[in-house]
Structure 1
Amino acid sequence: MNKNNLPIYFSIAVVFGILIGTFFSKGNSNIIGKNSSNERKIKRLIDYIQSDYVDNVNTDKLLDGAIAEMLGKLDPHSVYIPKENLQLVTENMQGNFVGIGVQFRMDEDTITVIEPIKGGPSIKKGIKAGDRILLADNDTLYGKNLKSAQILKKLKGKPNTNVDLQIYRKTNDSTFNTIITRGKVNIKSVDVAYMVNETIGYIKLDRFARNTYKEFKTSLEKLLKEGMTSLVLDLRGNGGGFIDIANKIVDEFLEDDKLIVYTKNNKGDINKSFATEKGDFENGNLYVLIDENSASASEIVAGALQDNDKGIIIGRRSFGKGLVQQEMDLGDGSAVRLTTARYYTPTGRSIQKPYKKDKKSTDYRSDIQNRYTNGELFDKDSIKTVDSLQFKTPKGKIVYGGGGIIPDMFVAVDTTAYLPTIFFRPLNNFAFEYVDGNRKKLSKLSIGDFIKNFNKDKKISNTFLAKLKDYTVSERTKKQLEKNLKILIARDLYNDEGLYKLNQQNDKMIQKVLEIEAKK
């Protein structure tokens, strides 16, 4: 045995006993009890390592590595969350954090506000897009090559604590101080909600966090008041979240007592979720957009609707995650997310794709790349199905289990939108600098005017292209750069609404919806 591997083997043995006790002592006290000989053995081993092992040992790091190693033998989604990462993970799942509430970027080593977050402390204090944050409580934040984590440490904090900021405002060349009281800031789940035309509404859902249903419901009600009769629910890239939140959203579309999803644990216990009398869009036309990065709770939504013959699922086969995780506290500020059940769509299909019980296996991690190389992202006929995993919906539609939700209408990946990564930074920087230098003039433009008239003479895009003289740029790439530049400028000027409304013009899935609607 390699001497360098000894610590990890020791720690795996230690953690195996500790975690088995943590996970299962309530229901399986015979495995390891509070005062069992196994626990005494483990404690003795720890003592031996700490007192007699030939090298100095950082027990915390050993345990962290061992826990991750052990969970890696279970399934791809049982994971360890070290204590230094738990706060960020929790904030994302809960949908909020405590801070001053700004989105920012580093511009020439200075913190520049992209957008003050709606409802947050900064926007209430008059902080604007383009403001530079120079000092926080007399600590200089510019010219230091600070990492994002270091900046966040200064801006985030405990509720109702103050931070004294010095701000430079470029639009009127002024510097001023303001005291901001830190508070709860919402991490939005609904990126945008707007009317595509007079009858079609669009909601882009980014995650299924604790605040997601409330945001979704507000957006749905807003669009209904604006005359929506058809809804596009965009779940592309949505990696999931809380199952109960997904169920609440599905409940808005399904009639009373329709089965949404059910879960089954290792004891065979089944827990079913049904639609209730609630539901503001049970009679409307529904389109759900998914892709290869739509996972977990997104697949619960798509699967529940598809199996109940509600709406049309458009896009590409979803990720294929049908495992339910429960977060468990390990007592030292760290936690594990342990897979405790599988979920099944109303027809009884599991959409969990196959995996080997070893995270070192590349099969699972390279699945999306494999879909690209085997042609699945370009042609529906390349999607492999298994006859034994075939199911029927109440109206007789054939659906398949065994790995993701296969859409009702396939839309291939748009290769014309591909742009070499080498252009990402120049594009982003030029877009930001253009908006930052012309904010007063641009602020007078409505989104509609911007979409219709901006860069019609190609003067701005030509200025950008002239900066790429050291690159070889094909005509196809030039056209894509022009499109992307306008989209990024819209994002910096109008935030997510500008980004999505511009992008919609070239969005193949949105175009598919418009085709279907036009035939009605």
Structure 2
Amino acid sequence: MNKNNLPIYFAFAVFFGILIGVLFDGPQSPMLAKSSAKERKIKRLIEYIQQDYVDTVNTDQLLDDAIKNMLGKLDPHSVYIPRENLQLVTENMQGNFVGIGVQFRVINDTITVIAPIKGGPSIKMGIKAGDRILMADEDTLYNKDLRTQDIFKKLKGKPGTEVKLQIYRKMNDSIFNVSVNRGKVNIKSVDISYMLNDSVGYIKLNRFARNSYREFKEGLDTLLDKGMRTLVLDLRGNGGGYIDIANKIVDEFLEDDKLIVYTKNNKGAVNKSFATEKGDFEDGKLYVLIDENSASASEIVAGALQDNDKGTIIGRRSFGKGLVQQEMDLGDGSAVRLTTARYYTPTGRSIQKPYTKGAETSEYRNDIEERFSSGELFEKDSIKTVDSLQYTTPKGKIVYGGGGIIPDVFVAVDTSAYLPTLFFSPLSKFSFDYVDNHRKELSAMSLESFIKDFDSDQKVSDSFLKKFKDAPISKETKKQLRKNLKTLIARDLFSDEGLYRMNHRDDKMLLKVLDLNKN
């Protein structure tokens, strides 16, 4: 997951996952029956400002800022979610939204369909990758400086409502109209699920949303039907989500009555979660991939398996979030996610990394940069551990608390995947334009034949590199540019499956898994 060409919705998944963290499914706090003196104090101050302050002031904004400031004095994961952002956060964690069902990018001031979402309304109405959406009902959507939120307002809506779209299809140079009934659209939790070889299966899980267990189970069952004996569960970049969904996934691997996780609140109340008899992969061989952006529910999964001596954790030390949040409605469409408990792995570890109450959260989040500069992302020996936070698993393995899950097998960050930022935009533009101009012939290729044969003569990548003929580019950088270009073209042509299958060819963590699995 250290690639620079991840889909934008996956980036949103990571961001919102870490923002939301682990959600504890407890009852919401009841509203106070009577206003306290402190509440009346705040209300009176706002009234004074509204009535008597010398200048006109947006008191709603003042109140929002005050709430953010209060939460900032608590911990890095207690957050305020304004009304205008709550719907997007909720949709992300519920795993669906109501709309027309397309992945899109704004290219040259025009909404361009990157891919219609499988099972969504648009794909049923024949909308294809490369189509340009020119109008929605009476609203012109091209040659305008539209924000993503503005576009969502035009394309999303209530279930069953109709939107009339005007579409330009470049492949046959035609403009046509189509009516689409908005419907529920799934936000994928499993990016890809496939067999790496005859016996090793792979599942990439990007979040722990309401639909994540169902998607994971479907992928697991399909791989088992194909003869899978070893599973690679990829949690790299997975920022977390619901604790009960994490528990259900762990339950597929652990024997009955094994402790998965427990939480403890400010009153000392302990809530334990145990594995049940439902697991379908209790006897299979398991590898779990994590990195510095694997957080929250991802760490519950990795910690539960590691502490129960199940499988092998591979990668780099995880984010280090051991706090549980509960959503509380503020009555005006906004909400807070308040930390209400800490969670602990089966051996009793808290993996929450240190933080200072009231300190700038930027310092807390910049911990990843500190890991880079300290060398931790390159050498396992650079990972700092505290002897007082040492724990022992049932089989005698030493594990540590106090800041993330330390993997059983360390794999350094792959710096060869990084390119100077000056290449990002040209690569993306060239990739899209190439696919857009050759979509008809490219669509006849299977993914397997694309991976094997596309640009074998390097004519396509040579035409891209000509743009930089006067730039001093090393041989290694040229090699990486050719690979990244082919990967982006695979993404634009085959969506997530193309992206991951291309990246997996030289993914160091997966290569380590395949090497270990030989033994």
TM bucket normalised to smaller: over 0.9
Measured against aligned partners, the alpha-carbon deviations of 1:139-197 in whole angstroms (never above 9, x if no partner) come to 11111122222111111111111000011111122211110000111000000001111
Deviates more, 1:44-53 or 1:323-332: 44-53
Distance in 1 (alpha carbons) for counterparts of 2:275 and 2:28: 33
Change (3 A) 1:258 1:25: closer
Contact 2:28 2:327 in 1 (8 A): no
Change (3 A) 1:285 1:438: same
2:432 alignment partner in structure 1: 432
What amino acid does structure 2 have at the position aligned with 1:422? L
Distance in 2 (alpha carbons) for counterparts of 1:39 and 1:505: 59
SS in 2 for 1:104: strand
Distance in 1 (alpha carbons) for counterparts of 2:41 and 2:352: 38
Distance in 1 (alpha carbons) for counterparts of 2:415 and 2:248: 35
Q: How far did residue 466 of structure 1 move?
A: 0.4
1:199 alignment partner in structure 2: 199
What amino acid does structure 2 have at the position aligned with 1:517? N
Q: How far did residue 473 of structure 1 move?
A: 1.9
Q: How far did residue 361 of structure 1 move?
A: 5.5
Distance in 2 (alpha carbons) for counterparts of 1:185 and 1:162: 15
Bigger relative contact order (CA 8 A; separation at least 6) = 2
Q: How far did residue 57 of structure 1 move?
A: 1.7
Deviates more, 1:258-267 or 1:460-469: 460-469
1:105-184 superposed matches below 5 A: 105-184=105-184
What amino acid does structure 2 have at the position aligned with 1:44? R
**1:363 maps onto 2:363 in alignment:** yes
What amino acid does structure 2 have at the position aligned with 1:396? G
What amino acid does structure 2 have at the position aligned with 1:330? L
**1:235 maps onto 2:235 in alignment:** yes
Q: How far did residue 43 of structure 1 move?
A: 2.8
Change (3 A) 1:414 1:36: closer
2:482 alignment partner in structure 1: 482
What amino acid does structure 2 have at the position aligned with 1:279? G
Measured against aligned partners, the alpha-carbon deviations of 1:408-427 in whole angstroms (never above 9, x if no partner) come to 00000011111111111110
Q: How far did residue 35 of structure 1 move?
A: 4.3
1:209-224 superposed matches below 5 A: 209-224=209-224
1:292 alignment partner in structure 2: 292
Q: How far did residue 40 of structure 1 move?
A: 3.3
Contact 2:391 2:398 in 1 (8 A): yes
SS in 1 for 2:214: helix
What amino acid does structure 2 have at the position aligned with 1:468? F
TM-score scaled to structure 2, two decimals? 0.93
What amino acid does structure 2 have at the position aligned with 1:246? A
1:334-373 superposed matches below 5 A: 334-360=334-360, 362-373=362-373
Change (3 A) 1:37 1:504: closer
Distance in 1 (alpha carbons) for counterparts of 2:144 and 2:295: 39
SS in 1 for 2:468: coil
Q: How far did residue 111 of structure 1 move?
A: 1.1
Distance in 1 (alpha carbons) for counterparts of 2:365 and 2:491: 32
1:255 alignment partner in structure 2: 255
1:392-403 superposed matches below 5 A: 392-403=392-403
Measured against aligned partners, the alpha-carbon deviations of 1:412-446 in whole angstroms (never above 9, x if no partner) come to 00111111111111101111111111111111111
Cα RMSD of the aligned pairs, angstroms, is: 1.5
1:77 alignment partner in structure 2: 77
Unaligned runs of 5+ in 1: 1-22
Q: How far did residue 37 of structure 1 move?
A: 3.7
Distance in 1 (alpha carbons) for counterparts of 2:362 and 2:112: 40
SS in 2 for 1:467: helix
Contact 2:28 2:328 in 1 (8 A): no
Radius of gyration: which is bigger? 1
Distance in 2 (alpha carbons) for counterparts of 1:88 and 1:58: 24
Measured against aligned partners, the alpha-carbon deviations of 1:233-275 in whole angstroms (never above 9, x if no partner) come to 0000000000000000000000110000000000000000000
What amino acid does structure 2 have at the position aligned with 1:237? G
What amino acid does structure 2 have at the position aligned with 1:70? M
1:19 alignment partner in structure 2: none
Q: How far did residue 381 of structure 1 move?
A: 0.2
2:4 alignment partner in structure 1: none
Deviates more, 1:51-60 or 1:90-99: 51-60
2:267 alignment partner in structure 1: 267
Measured against aligned partners, the alpha-carbon deviations of 1:189-247 in whole angstroms (never above 9, x if no partner) come to 00000111111111000000001000000011111111111010000000000000000
What amino acid does structure 1 have at the position aligned with 2:73? K
**1:329 maps onto 2:329 in alignment:** yes
2:55 alignment partner in structure 1: 55
Distance in 2 (alpha carbons) for counterparts of 1:189 and 1:361: 28
Unaligned runs of 5+ in 2: 1-26
Q: How far did residue 128 of structure 1 move?
A: 0.7
2:501 alignment partner in structure 1: 501
TM-score scaled to structure 1, two decimals? 0.93
**1:464 maps onto 2:500 in alignment:** no
Contact 2:114 2:130 in 1 (8 A): yes
Q: How far did residue 471 of structure 1 move?
A: 3.5
SS in 1 for 2:191: strand
Change (3 A) 1:24 1:488: closer
**1:309 maps onto 2:291 in alignment:** no
Q: How far did residue 48 of structure 1 move?
A: 1.6
SS in 1 for 2:412: coil
What amino acid does structure 2 have at the position aligned with 1:163? V
2:189 alignment partner in structure 1: 189
Deviates more, 1:132-141 or 1:182-191: 132-141
Distance in 1 (alpha carbons) for counterparts of 2:233 and 2:361: 34
